[in-house]
A and B are shown apart, each in its own frame.
Chain A
Amino acid sequence: DAGVTQSPTHLIKTRGQQVTLRCSPKSGHDTVSWYQQALGQGPQFIFQYYEEEERQRGNFPDRFSGHQFPNYSSELNVNALLLGDSALYLCASSLRSRRTYNEQFFGPGTRLTVL
């Protein structure tokens, strides 16, 4: 059973460009969350997708957008890249639940460098 996979592993872009990152959840999972982890810091929640809709959003500008497909995979899009967008982008998948525990499994991340 493959875990959470992300592509690409590394990416280099220049300021002003647009980027798309991809995530395939662990088998059986229906919810995908995205996190941004700047160097030396803890991950920050960007947003979460369930049933192809954005369900929760962190404090990130509209330049950050996403999509979830019928097979539960997800994309993170960032427009008009800034130097400050350079970070490790982590995808995590889980089963949607309220008061029962379902573990979030993380992918290996995509390292984005903006020059």
Chain B
Amino acid sequence: AQTVTQSQPEMSVQEAETVTLSCTYDTSESDYYLFWYKQPPSRQMILVIRQEAYKQQNATENRFSVNFQKAAKSFSLKISDSQLGDAAMYFCAYRSMEYGNKLVFGAGTILRVKS
């Protein structure tokens, strides 16, 4: 069974600064997807960024980028130029490429942004 671990329960960053959230996972599969989701106080789960395991290039979406280390089973999220609206709970998630679309989530990291 796959597992996802987020070792940082809470992180803080100054507005306009950069912060990195950590995630490790365990799987025996070679092809899979990894995701970072954002859940603000409104509870709506929003996809931030995804990475396909067969792609060596790290995914980037505007101010959000990942550092995907497949051999180390590590998948960190870097947020550049942090904004107050980035404050939320962030979840790392894993999905097999086989049928099922089931997501396996980590426990989450609360990100606080200071003005």
| A94 and B101 contact, Cβ closer than 8 Å, known pairs A103-B47, A106-B44 | yes
- Contact residues, B91-112 vs A (CB, 8 A): 91, 93, 97-108
> Number of A-B pairs whose CB atoms are under 8 Å?
67
User: Judging by beta carbons under 8 Å apart, are A104 and B43 in contact?
Assistant: no
Residues of the A chain whose Cβ atoms lie less than 8 Å from the Cβ of B42: 108
Q: How far is A85 from B58 in the complex, measured between Cα atoms in Å?
A: 38
Contact of A90 with B by CB under 8 A: yes
Shortest distance in angstroms between A55's beta carbon and chain B's nearest beta carbon?
A: 7
Residues A96 and B101 in contact in the complex (CB < 8 Å), given A101-B33, A108-B43: yes
**Which residues of chain B (50-98) have a CB below 8 Å from chain A?**
50, 52, 91, 93, 97-98
Q: Is B45 an interface residue (CB 8 A)?
A: yes
Known contacts A99-B97, A101-B52, A108-B44; A43/B33 CB under 8 A: no
Determine the chain A residues whose CB is within 8 A of the CB of B50 once the complex forms: 101, 103
- Cβ of A43 and Cβ of B103 under 8 Å apart? yes
- Contact (Cβ within 8 A) B101 A104: yes
Known A-B contacts A42-B107, A108-B44; the reply to A98 vs B98 at CB < 8 A is yes
Residues of B contacting A33 in the complex (Cβ-Cβ under 8 angstroms): 101-103
Contact B43 A48 (CB under 8 A): no
7 closest A-B pairs (Cβ-Cβ)?
Answer: A42-B105, A106-B45, A56-B100, A109-B43, A42-B107, A43-B105, A45-B102
* 10 sampled A-B residue pairs with Cβ under 8 A: A35-B105, A40-B108, A41-B108, A43-B45, A90-B45, A92-B45, A101-B50, A104-B101, A106-B45, A108-B44
Roughly how many angstroms separate A35 CA and B46 CA in the complex, as a whole number? 15
Which residue of chain A has the shortest Cβ distance to B33 in the bound complex? A101
CB of A58, distance to nearest CB on chain B (Å): 7
B4: A residues at CB distance < 8 A:
42
- Shortest CB distance A78–B (Å): 19
Separation of A111 and B104 alpha carbons in the complex (Å): 21
Q: Is the CB of A41 within 8 A of B107?
A: yes
Query: Closest approach, in angstroms, between the C-beta of B90 and any C-beta of chain A?
Result: 10
